[in-house]
Amino acid sequence: MLEKALTGSNKYWGWIAVLLAFMAAGALSYVQQYNYGLGMTGMSRDVSWGIYIAQFTFLVGVAASGVMVVLPYYLHNYKIFGKITILGEFLAVAAVSMCLLFIMADLGQPTRALNVLLHPTPGSILFWDMIVLNVYLFLNIFVGWVVLTAEKKEVAPPKWIKPFIYISIPWAVSIHTVTAFLYAGLPGRHFWLTAILAPRFLASAFAAGPALLILLCLIIKRVTKFDAGQEAIQKLVTIVTYAALINVFFILLEFFTSYYSNIPGHMHTLDYLFFGLHGHSQLVPWMRVSAIFGIVAIVMFLIPAARKREDTLAIACVLLFVSFWIDKGIGLVIGGFVPSPLEEITAYYPSFQEIMITLGIWATGFFILTVLFKIALSVKEEKMIS
Amino acid sequence: MDIKRRQFLKVAGLSTIAGLGAPAAFNLLLKGGPDTVSYASSGGEAEASHEAAPTGVRLGMVIDQRVFDANKGLAQKCTTACHTVHNVPNFGNKKDEIKWIFEVPFEKAFTGKSQYHKNKNLEDSSFLVLCNHCDNPPCVRACPTKATFKRKDGIVAMDYHRCIGCRFCMAACPYGMRSFNWRDPRPFIDQKTHNKEFPTRMRGVVEKCNFCVDRLARGQQPACVEACGNTGAMTFGDLNDSHSEIVKLLDNNFTIQRKPSLGTNPSVFYIV
Amino acid sequence: MYDGKYIIPGLIVFVALMTFPIWKNMGNAGIVPKPEKPVGVTKCVESAQYMRTSHMKLLDDWRDETLRDGDRTPVEVDGVKYEKSLMNGCLKCHTDKKKFCDECHVYASVKPYCWDCHYVPKETF
């Protein structure tokens, strides 16, 4: 079915060309970074993880969100999602691919990456993260491809694919739980040392991921003949709204615990992020924008007239996606490193190469997404014509 | 596709996977699991009230801050000695800096302690901080390749050959004692004073104090301890040896440790 | 063959290009590397034949024993003690990296990353 990605309109090829340009620019920057070292980024001894790991953390969430369409359809026979499960699965493939690329870009010695397999360390969460992410990638490629092939041949999917689909549902929850465990088990980082981190991750994932899926469906409706259907989209909106509300609730819970207990260690990072700490307020505008975008998006989702119209829905989805991207990426990952274990504050600014590599990897993810969606939608369009 | 060809491919695929997986599976079963490295003791022994009977050597250090307070330039000698002996580069900027042992004020070394109405001495005290070589090290738990591991003598060691530079250990360390080689360190090592019997590190790996394992193997004291001379500012020894000087110091003096409530059980003590 | 007049010459050109490395230097093994042994030292930890085939294995074993197992007891061969160390063992005698190590490594186009960290003690890096 790959040949379906090789034919397309001028707009399709134009989009591919744009993506390839960003990928090339990212690759060039990566070559520079590979030759110089990670010092080419803005990371430092105190803020030792930056936007690469931030993007990775956020995208694991987007990948996990595929379960939000798979679960209702396969476990609860919710037929409305039948048309878009493949889109959810392929979105997961693109997102996990981006995750793996971001990790590779962030490694100090990428040529030694296989050491994680050669010297398995079951006590390390990073080991399990590698396993769950790769298995999830395989599951989604496998399930997506088999189900799509069956759809192309106009037969029911083979029975043996069902166990893989059923496994992929708790597995989706597991990938984000394990990623949360990377942070939530570290004794020295009080901002992360909270049991609610994994639920927070999942809530934000189940809001941001389907929001992106809604956006993609709206775009697809304009550029192809495929229409996901008003009911499916509105049900996704419902899911996004509840997940977003829960995520905001969890964030407010964090505020309560920190500020009511008045324990400095717990308050310091929130101070730094939202109000500025000891004169350092570099991230404050970002976090406040994230808060405003999030609230506006949720309000728009709650107003029926706003969520039913495609243009306002699209705006709401974009606002939500950006809001949670800032909250999870920048707020959570960078915030966790400030103040340092020695109570010092070091500012973090991504460098030019770092941003180019990040854009390049996002472009790669969208490239994979475009190719896979093109294949899936070509299959569906052929069926519509015949 | 021919049914026979399909069957053939299925069988071929499965037997390849089995062929690749079987030796690995055998290896794991025969060797009894992944590398048998001494893992950090977790939970049990770290409980404050109950201490398991100590076995083997456990290396530790006592820093007598009173001596450092009385000799203001002494701490600098320790950091210089350490960084020279181990070819630690000096990048000249805070972003890339690598430091194995360094001085910080009291409120940064002991963040959990009260800073209210401190002892006047502490206000301009400068404490040497270094890797605590914890008995229950979070960095060793975090490392996905066992590039950082706990030796039987208690030292938390780094294997620079295996480190993939993921920096998870840096996130895990509650004391901020690990540094990363953000770039090639060699141009920033002073060629006039570097230690010709010790390698440098490459870019892309994490490094930290190693309690001078290479010097200990030659019967020498750690470089920082040696730089203190006879002042008694730093004492190094076996915490499990009840007759050692270090245990006597600990028995007779009130000492504090950094962030003890985290359960890491550090090996470095401070007499304040 | 359809379009045979393009395919056959095309195939010949392709095969010629792909096998270029083989026939370009046919019959010429290149300059045989001549690693220079250190002056005045006749014994080593292992025989030259063993070293030719397995010096990396020896170094890896030494590395794991020294660094990971903490076993730094010197290796004794014919009454001479050698530290289990590249810099403080091997390179104590083999003091000229360019004339010894690099000779074969360059010939075989091998770039061991050992030199990123280890260096000849007598030389600057």
Q: Does C121 touch chain B (CB under 8 A)?
A: yes
Residue A282 has a pLDDT of 92
Residue A280's pLDDT is: 92
Please report, as a single letter, which amino acid is at residue C55. Answer: H
What's the pLDDT tens digit per position in A260-281?
999 988 899 999 999 999 989 9
Q: What is the mean pLDDT of residues A5-15?
A: 93
Give bridge partners of residue B127 from the DSSP assignment: B104
pLDDT for residue B41 is more than 50: no
DSSP B56: S
> Strand, coil or helix: what is B177?
coil
Quote the pLDDT of residue A385. 76
- Whether the complex's predicted ipTM surpasses the cut of 0.85: yes
The chains found to touch B (3+ Cβ pairs under 8 angstroms) are: A, C
pLDDT of residue B15: 86
Interface contact flag, B160 C125, Cβ < 8 Å:
no
pLDDT digits 0-9 by tens, B136-156: 999 999 999 999 999 999 999
CB–CB contact A116 B145 (8 Å): yes
Averaged pLDDT, A70-93: 94
**In the prediction, which pLDDT does B28 show?**
61
Contact A124 B104 (CB under 8 A): no
**What are the φ/ψ torsions at residue C76 (nearest 5 degrees)?**
-110, 120
With CB atoms and an 8 Å threshold, state whether B172 touches A336. Answer: no
Indicate the domain borders of chain C.
Answer: 36-116
Mean pLDDT along residues B174-189? 96
Where residue B24 falls among pLDDT bands split at 50, 70, 90?
low
Mean pLDDT calculated for residue range A203-211: 96
* Per-residue model confidence (pLDDT) at position B73: 92
User: What residue segments make up the domains of chain A, in order of their start?
Assistant: 2-204+211-385
Q: Is the pLDDT of residue A255 over 50?
A: yes
Of B42 and B35, more confident: B35
Q: In this complex, do C117 and B196 lie within 8 Å of one another by their Cβ atoms?
A: no
Q: What are the tens digits of pLDDT across the range A105-159?
A: 999 999 999 999 999 999 999 999 999 999 999 999 999 999 999 999 999 999 9
Confidence of residue B50 (pLDDT cuts 50, 70, 90): very low
CATH topology of domain B44-271: Alpha-Beta Plaits (3.30.70)
Give just the sign of the alpha carbon dihedral B107, B111, B116, B119.
Answer: negative
CATH number of A2-204+211-385: 1.20.1630.10
* Residue A379 pLDDT > 90: yes
Specify the higher pLDDT residue, B116 or B177. B177
Structure tokens at C19: 């096998």
Distance between CA atoms of residues B199 and C9, nearest Å: 56
Q: What is the mean pLDDT of residues B187-216?
A: 93
B168 backbone dihedrals φ, ψ, rounded to 5° = -70, -35
Nearest to B76 by CA among B228, B261, B263: B228
Tell me which residue in A36, A106, A188 faces B174 most closely, judged by beta carbons: A188
pLDDT higher than 90, residue A259: yes
pLDDT at position B103 is 96
The pLDDT confidence band at residue B2, using thresholds 50, 70 and 90, is low
Can you tell me the mean pLDDT for A173-181?
A: 95
Taking only residues 102 to 121 of chain A, the set having a beta carbon closer than 8 angstroms to any beta carbon of chain B reads 103, 106-110, 112-113, 115-116, 118-121
For residues A58 and B116, which has the higher predicted lDDT (pLDDT)?
A58
For chain B, domain boundaries: 1-33, 44-271
Query: Tell me: the pLDDT tens digits for A312-362?
Result: 999 999 999 999 999 998 899 999 999 999 999 999 999 999 999 999 999
Q: Taking 90 as the threshold, does the pLDDT of residue B114 lie above it? A: no
Residue B58 has pLDDT above 60, yes or no: yes
What is the pLDDT confidence band of residue B27, given thresholds at 50, 70 and 90? low
Do A317 and A212 meet the contact criterion of CB atoms below 8 Å apart?
A: yes
C-beta atoms of B153 and C118 within 8 A: no
- The secondary structure of A21-88, three-state, reads HHHHHHHHHHHHHHHHCHHHCCCCCCCCCCHHHHHHHHHHHHHHCCHHHHHHHHHHCCHHHHHCHHHH
Spell out where B106-254 has E strands.
Answer: 126-130, 148-150, 156-158, 179-180, 206-207, 234-238
Higher pLDDT, A68 or B47: A68
Chain B environment of A188 (Cβ under 8 Å): 138, 172-176, 259, 262
> Pick from A250, A255, A244: which is nearest to A299 by CA?
A244
Mean pLDDT for chain B? 88
Over residues C32-75, the pLDDT tens digits come to 888 888 888 888 999 989 999 999 999 999 999 999 998 999 99
Check if C23 contacts B (Cβ < 8 Å): no
